Amino acid sequence: MQRGEKRVTNVLLTQPIVFSPALLIAEWGRKKTWVLKGGPDYKKIDPHSQLGFSGRRSDFSNLRVQRESEYFCCSHRAITPVEDEIPSSSPAVVDENPNHLITKSTGFHRDLNSLPKPLSATNIPFSSSDGTKVLVAYRGVPGSYSEAAALKAYPNCETVPCDQFEAVFKAVELWLVDKAVLPIENSVGGSIHRNYDLLLFHRLHIVGEVGLTVNHCLLGLPGVRKEELKRVLSHPQALDQCEIFLNKLHLNRISAVDTAGAAQIVASEGVRETGAIASGRAAEIYGLNILAERIQDDYDNITRFLILAREPIIPGTNKSYKTSIVFTLEEGPGVLFKALAVFSMRDINLSKIESRPQRSRPLRVVDDSNSGSATYFDYLFYIDFEASMAEPRAQYALGHLQEFARFIRVLGCYPMNTS
């Protein structure tokens, strides 16, 4: 537990009360606590059939999808923190054909075996830090946008790559790292629902947020022109966000686990006709050329990340704070309207509302007829509101919300990102 933080035990409430700051991040409940169970059903994909071509290594073994249940976390940590991604200042070299743009490589082609590699969370080495740096876990490989967000939040941190989102949570819970950085929503692609489910399933606390501007780049092997490319690898969301640019080049699109992982595959496989969409920093790490920058359809492409820790922070009132909660509601007409009204009547702004079906509860039938009966879900509601839990109005609002809710849990109260 770090200085300024305070451990708060869970509290079961049966009547609306006014809360003291010591109970800010306590767990709330009225009848019972709902726990999400189950998980995604991932299917393994034959990498050879996806690629449909042969290269130096025809099986393209690095491109694969692993089951979510096989949690992965790193065993080797990035020793040297890196600076935030900056556009390359290397001059472009243009040949006689103006349509052929060749950009000098932004870095050297390093030994990829020297980079941190994810391992199974069931076999995590329990090595301790010397305490000189903050250890921050993220999902992906070096050069990913999540790593850039971690370095933006903690410029001098030691980043720890994990293979799956579940492994990021476990790394914090097992005291392998101090913090975790988790993408939660994108201004173009929307919310990342898997991470909302994990926030409820695990007992970590939100202690901060950071916004990162996404700058997608087209990367290729040194000496390759973008017109020579026949296919491009990247995360499915990145491919969708660059649709206009990719349509102009008539490139076949192949999904990869993440953007930096796609760059790593292109560098290791060495197939000249294959490019990747990733960050400029990924080009530097894996020794690739930047063939085009800012290729996303929407230039104002921002991803919001949450910072997670084992212990909550005790908020104050000296700056702008945001509070994230999750709750379920009792049955009844207009109950959602009543639940949201507890914030409006106290002049508390809601900046985010997200609903997720409760997996642990069956569908309910609207009427008793045997044919054509409509069913509906029971939902979990995730809300971000702009107020500190040290403020009486926020405390009264949650006390009022308890009248309509089966379950309430404060996920975290943290300073708002104003950058």
Chain centroid to Cα 114, Å, comes to 25
Q: Look up 303 and say whether it is catalytic.
A: yes
Say how far apart CA 12 and CA 29 lie, in whole Å: 6
Angle at CA 238, nearest 5°, toward 234 and 239? 70
Note the helical H segments in 270-419.
280-286, 335-344, 392-401
Q: Look up 305 and say whether it is catalytic.
A: yes
- Out of 19, 72, 165, 305, which one is annotated catalytic? 305
CB 254 within 8 A of CB 48: no
Closest to 201 in 3D by CA, of 392, 1, 34, 321: 34
Chain centroid to Cα 241, Å, comes to 17
Say how far apart CA 313 and CA 320 lie, in whole Å: 14
Say how far apart CA 172 and CA 379 lie, in whole Å: 28
97 Cβ contact list (under 8 Å, min separation 6)? none
- Out of 159, 259, 274, 303, which one is annotated catalytic? 303
* The residue type at 383: I
Indicate which residues carry an active-site annotation.
303, 305
